[in-house]
Copies of this chain bind each other. A is one copy, B any other.
């Protein structure tokens, strides 16, 4: 992926960093736990764009997290229709469920960009959370935050208009990316095509396109390719009926300095 060369051995800290950053965005982490997480042995694998990291029906013996890139969790239903049920940015753990559910996966994880993914064996993770209850709690928090996001998505696709849905997705992407240091100002790159945006919001590609035009005309956003800039954050939030409480971020609020000495690149 861009920039970071993968170096095994002691220099592997760069691969752990996104995970730390993500967990840090939802909770405080004690120094001991940071060390423990950094000591986690990783199997690292790169994926091209539009590849499945985990397939429906898979049974994992490892859990994994995103080192770099953007993934979607998705379901395919009759007629070739596809619905993304979650987006996963750098640092997010993908399938904690496999630790507790022996069953085959009922959905799939696919890359939306080229991705680097870290794998950690179940045994190692079990040992870790056995030894460090605070890390177990951290993971649990991750699980419930993810569930909260799922529920917000149900409300979005169930009850919001197309205009609101797109606005809401943009708000969500900005806040989540910002929380892990992927955004510095109100400009960010969202590497989703309009088609993928549709698959995430339950809209057709054409309608996504027209909705984008509306949002631009309303003076809420500007786009140049995949680069988005929010020209009216308050307006966008209002249009989306957006309230970031459901992210359960440690420090709430979208535009705060998330500067934490420990995890700067």
Contact = CB atoms under 8 A, between A and B. Distances in A.
A252 to B, nearest CB: 9
- Count the copies: 2
Interface residues of A, number: 43
Contacts of A145: 101
B157 A157 contact: yes
A147 B146 contact: yes
Contact of A75 (B75, B81, B151): B151
Given A146-B147, A245-B106, A153 B154 contact: yes
B202 A157 contact: yes
A137 B101 CA distance: 9
Given A77-B159, A81-B159, A107 B245 contact: no
Given A158-B83, A201-B158, A107 B140 contact: no
B137 A100 contact: yes
Interface of A: 73, 75, 77-78, 81-83, 85-86, 96-97, 99-101, 103-104, 106-107, 137, 140-141, 143-148, 150-155, 157-160, 201-202, 241, 245-246, 248
